[in-house]
Amino acid sequence: MKVTKSDCICNEELFHSLFKKYAKDLHDFLYYKYGPDCHPKDLVQEAFLKLWDNCKNVQEEKAKSYLFTVANNLTLNVISKQKTILKYKNEGKSSNTSESPQFLLEEKEYLDRLQDALNCLTEDQRVTFMLNRVEGKKHKEIAEMLGISRKAVEKRIYKALAILKTKVEGIK
């Protein structure tokens, strides 16, 4: 439907008066309906840009309805994009693994047996063993840290390994 030249909102003065008349109401509508996260000021500007782009096809008396409809649709598009982004962010954080439930159960049981075996070690053996096997410290470094001889470190690690081998299968 074409508009006559007399009520064409392509006239800059008429368009400016429409902006003054409806911009605040449109902003408030978007703000109260969707909140500040949807950036209502930006959406008001976009709605008026679309009105300007289609000024030849919109009558002055239909401008308010056009603006509110366009702004509402733009906001719904923004919300839809935000939901999509959030969905993919959450999918990236999912804890899906390729291990079978059987494997996960066996792993948990193994770690429980290992923890029980470590608890059976004396504190000196456990500290020495953990420094060597977990933190990767050399025998000489451990000896200096604990103030004992290198032979004492080797003996503690050897005894710890012997105890762990008897308590847990598969320890090397």
Which is nearest to 53 in space by CA: 70, 39, 40, 38? 70
Task: Give per-residue pLDDT as tens, 153-162.
Answer: 999 999 999 9
| pLDDT tens track for 44-99 | 999 999 999 999 998 889 999 999 999 989 988 888 888 888 887 777 655 556 77
Quote the CA–CA distance of 15 and 17 in Å, as a whole number: 5
Does 5 score more than 90 pLDDT? no
What is the SS3 assignment for the chain? CCCCHHHECCCHHHHHHHHHHHHHHHHHHHHHHHCHHHCHHHHHHHHHHHHHHCHHHCEHHHHHHHHHHHHHHHHHHHHHHHHHHHHHHHHHCCCCCCCCHHHHHHHHHHHHHHHHHHHHCCHHHHHHHHHHHCCCCCHHHHHHHHCCCHHHHHHHHHHHHHHHHHHCCCCC
pTM for this entry: 0.49
Q: Which domains are delineated in the chain?
A: 5-92 (1.10.1740), 101-167 (1.10.10.10)
> pLDDT tens digits, residue range 32-41?
888 888 889 9
For 68-96, b where at least 16 C-beta lie within 10 A, e where not — what string? bebbbebbeebeeeeeeeeeeeeeeeeee
56/50 Cα distance (integer angstroms) = 11
pLDDT at 172 over 80: no
CA distance 120 to 125: 10
Is the model's pLDDT at 102 over the cut of 60? yes
